[in-house]
Structure 1
């Protein structure tokens, strides 16, 4: 069992790198997609990502109960979660205040997951502090989640301009 945490900015190559790693795995791959197709542009992004994946990969669309879904997956699987940034946004959209129950359930599922897990997320905390309280709450919550995952992860990679930079 291992956790590989992949961080980076928008269009840094995170998803492509995660998919490359999964393609060399011998066990079955499950791709957990967290994006919601709420507009035409997001629909196009989702279709692009879908076209990149091998047909034999199982795909699950999960917008909120990520911990529950992870708990149901088999130990001999390779699972990609793409991406935690959108998942956290979905949690905030459902619950205007921080959804600590969903986050705690996800972290608990990480601790008990027995397969290989590739987690993808945007590193959004390298810029200015957001002006609005809700935006600050989101950035703070995502940053804290990233710290918990990085502490638990076997490997952490920061993607910069399509290049994987080993952090841990």
Structure 2
């Protein structure tokens, strides 16, 4: 069920139902608000045929009332540019993290996102449409052997902690079921 919080973080493992849950919450916000719109901020890039199929499936799952914004790197800038009256669903933070690490801009882009989130909260944008962040919870498995994999898991963990601290609500999706964490 949708609540009136401004910043949501939805975590879960692969195929946990986190994207579907986020989409449902955004659509509930739109129904209860009777104003505004919905923006889907996609961080994925179609590097191969399998990923292209995943992206197409996700696009097909959303109705025509969704505006899609594709931004694999400059997430803070894309959030700033999104319509203020739209609930923005960011899917997914771990793909964004991977893109940023690959491009060597992780520290800069993480700082930009945290500054934008803090600015939004500090400026009391309480009437602003919510932002919903979706991310893969990768810290529940074994510690990876390779340096890059460990850096990724560490960065994802620190990102999730920073956003969870700032979020009005945090949900863990498990087997398609939401577990309220905060």
Name the TM-score class by shorter chain. Answer: over 0.9
The offset of 1:91, in angstroms, is 0.5
1:18 equivalent in structure 2: 22
| Aligned residue runs from structure 1 range 5-154, under 5 A | 5-26=9-30, 27-95=36-104, 99-113=106-120, 114=125, 115-154=129-168
> Is the deviation greater in 16-25 or in 68-77?
68-77
Please point out which of 156, 173, 180 is paired with 1:159.
173
List per-residue Cα deviations over 1:94-152 (Å, max 9, x = no partner).
Answer: 11xx6200100011111233430110000001111111111111110110000000000
* In structure 2, C-alpha distance between the alignment counterparts of 1:86 and 1:125, rounded to whole Å: 15
2:7 equivalent in structure 1: 3
List per-residue Cα deviations over 1:30-54 (Å, max 9, x = no partner).
Answer: 1001111001110110000000111
The offset of 1:68, in angstroms, is 1.1
The offset of 1:75, in angstroms, is 2.8
TM-score of the superposed pair, with normalisation by structure 2: 0.88
Change (3 A) 1:112 1:72: farther
- Structure 2's unaligned 5+ residue stretches are 31-35
TM-score of the superposed pair, with normalisation by structure 1: 0.95
RMSD: 1.2
**Paired residue total:** 166
SS at match of 2:29: coil
The offset of 1:71, in angstroms, is 1.6
- Structure 1's unaligned 5+ residue stretches are none
